[in-house]
Amino acid sequence: MPARQAAPKRVLRPGTNLYPLPAVLVSCAAEVGGERRENLITLAWTGIACAEPPMITIAVRKSRFSHGLIAASREFVVNVPSADMSLAVDLCGSISGRDADKFARAALTPSPAGVVRAPLVAECPVSLECRVRHTYEAGSHDLFVGEIVAVQAAETVLDADGKIDVALVDPLAYGGGWYWRLGERLGAYGHSVA
């Protein structure tokens, strides 16, 4: 393998400088004051935690309306949007569900999930239904670790074998305060030893 040049480094203040991140819509629901409330929250702080069983993390600031709904119901849905939904995704990350119906404001449709009681976002091509298995109080944010108990995908993003084709999903990335679309496909896993 050819050697590369390493540039001189500067020490920065410790921060969350991981790139790129997935921009997703997390949906949730719970009873609040005797009334069922549904909400959406835009997150980039999500990641995979385990293969068997499949698990995912979401980091949610304790002050968020969605934090209370997820803590109470112990359920959430991670909805993977397409890049052309970036305006709706950004809107759901910029207003609070305490005061507004984010589904209506963002012209998104709640639809019943298969296993959990939280709704899916119908317009998102992939939805991961999750049950909270573990909560770590990290500081400003709680880290919810959810088992992925069901997956729904739009017929339009499935390949001939019924598997999700990421190019058809056209997912939305986030990094450095900007939303990005994926670009060039560089190689398949394992191509270095193939």
Site residues (CB under 8 A) for a second copy, limited to 52-111: 52-57, 59, 61, 78, 80, 83, 85-88, 90-91, 93-95, 105-109, 111
Rule CB under 8 A: say whether 149 interacts with a second copy. Answer: yes
Contact 79, 163 (CB under 8 A): no
The interface region with a second copy, picked from 26-34, 44-52, 69-77 by CB under 8 A, is: 44-52
Rule CB under 8 A: say whether 172 interacts with a second copy. Answer: yes
Q: Is the peptide bond before 54 cis (omega within 30 degrees of 0)?
A: no
Alpha carbon 60 to chain centroid distance?
Answer: 11
Q: Which of residues 152-171 bind a second copy (CB under 8 A)?
A: 152-158, 162, 164-167, 169, 171
Supply the minimum distance, in Å, between the C-beta of residue 164 and a second copy.
6
Which residue from 182, 171, 178, 75 is spatially nearest to 124, judged by alpha carbons?
Answer: 171
The interface region with a second copy, picked from 32-40, 69-77, 177-185 by CB under 8 A, is: 177-185
Rule CB under 8 A: say whether 45 interacts with a second copy. Answer: yes
Comparing CB distances to a second copy, the nearer of 31 and 111 is: 111
Which residue from 144, 104, 134 is spatially nearest to 121, judged by alpha carbons?
Answer: 104
Rule CB under 8 A: say whether 112 interacts with a second copy. Answer: no
Alpha carbon 25 to chain centroid distance?
Answer: 5
Kind of pairing between the strands at 110-111 and 120-121? antiparallel
The tokens describing 151, both together, are 């997956």
Measure the CA–CA gap between 17 and 23, rounded to whole angstroms. 15
Comparing CB distances to a second copy, the nearer of 33 and 176 is: 176
**SS3 for 64?**
coil
Supply the minimum distance, in Å, between the C-beta of residue 174 and a second copy.
8
Supply the minimum distance, in Å, between the C-beta of residue 54 and a second copy.
5
